[in-house]
Structure 1
Amino acid sequence: MTRQEGKMRYPIVIERGSDAEAYGVVVPDLPGCFSAGDTFDEAVSNASEAIALWVEDAIDNGQSIPRPSSLDGLRASLEWSGPEWIWGFASVDPTLFDDTSERVNITLPRRVLARLDSRAKDAGETRSGFIAKLALSA
């Protein structure tokens, strides 16, 4: 994994844009993950968002998350050779991949807590499980 300053970096391939066309971005390690932007900077920023959404969706669907490949290995591919492609990296927060449980302390009014517990019980969930499910479905 390529990490820098607490971020994970995925190699990206950027198709040059112009005044009339957006910059296109492909994330070779994540099948179907792509984005675009009107400027180079916007394209890279949007690639980071696309990666985060791709990872979130994969985790929600029980899929494994491919590790970032080496840039040199990807650059050897004929699929993205030529002057129309620019190589770069998009950074993502590695906590997106972390399923470690963490104890938290929250404060809720008693009436809200009672409603929450009732709905969790009806759903056959624990309070924590029900809160997590609500957060992930929003």
Structure 2
Amino acid sequence: MRYPILIEEGSDTTAFGVVVPDLPGCFSAGDSLDEALDGAREAAAAWIDAALDAGMPVPSPTKLEDARRLSGYEGWTVGVVDLDQALFDDSIERVNITLPKRILRRLDDLAAARHQSRGAFIADLTMVTK
């Protein structure tokens, strides 16, 4: 999925700035354009991941023409950041993992103590470690 970005030109004394206007508060900066663009991609992915974790909707990308007309960004260059479609995929996938029986027993005991399935418990663990 491609989101429009707005790029503020850097110089010898200022960093390049990149804003993803469809994702409020999502921006990056870098000493080079490549660094700023890589940061924007990472920031957008983190923004979307956090929104999905919080149960918030992810805004659809606006058209480039609309991004060009945003007030406050006159003179900025318009581009796009390409995000992996898998970022938006919350579908369930069955996985096969291998664990020693003693570890699996501990995992199941911890899940049972929380009245959760093994899968739900593992999913909750990944949310806590962010």
TM-score category, normalised to shorter length: over 0.9
Identity value in percent: 53
Paired AA for residue 38 in structure 1: D
Contact 2:67 2:78 in 1 (8 A): no
Q: What residue in structure 2 maps to residue 134 of structure 1?
A: 125
| 2:48 maps to 1:55 | yes
More strand by share: 1
Q: TM-score, normalised by structure 1?
A: 0.89
Task: State the SS of the aligned residue for 1:78.
Answer: coil
Aligned-residue CA RMSD in angstroms? 1.0
**Cα distance in 2 between the residues matched to 1:64 and 1:132:** 20
Query: Which stretches of structure 1, 4 residues or more, deviate above 3 A after TM superposition?
Result: none
CA shift at 1:77, angstroms? 2.4
Paired AA for residue 110 in structure 2: R
CA shift at 1:12, angstroms? 0.5
**Cα distance in 2 between the residues matched to 1:115 and 1:23:** 49
Matches within 5 A, 1:1-138: 8-82=1-75, 85-138=76-129
CA shift at 1:125, angstroms? 1.2
Paired AA for residue 128 in structure 1: G
What are the Cα deviations for residues 79-124 of structure 1, in whole angstroms up to 9, with x where unaligned? Answer: 3222xx1111112111111110011111111011000001111122
**Cα distance in 2 between the residues matched to 1:29 and 1:78:** 14
Task: State the SS of the aligned residue for 1:55.
Answer: helix
What are the Cα deviations for residues 3-53 of structure 1, in whole angstroms up to 9, with x where unaligned? Answer: xxxxx1111001111111111111010011111111001111110000011
Q: TM-score, normalised by structure 2?
A: 0.94
CA shift at 1:60, angstroms? 1.3
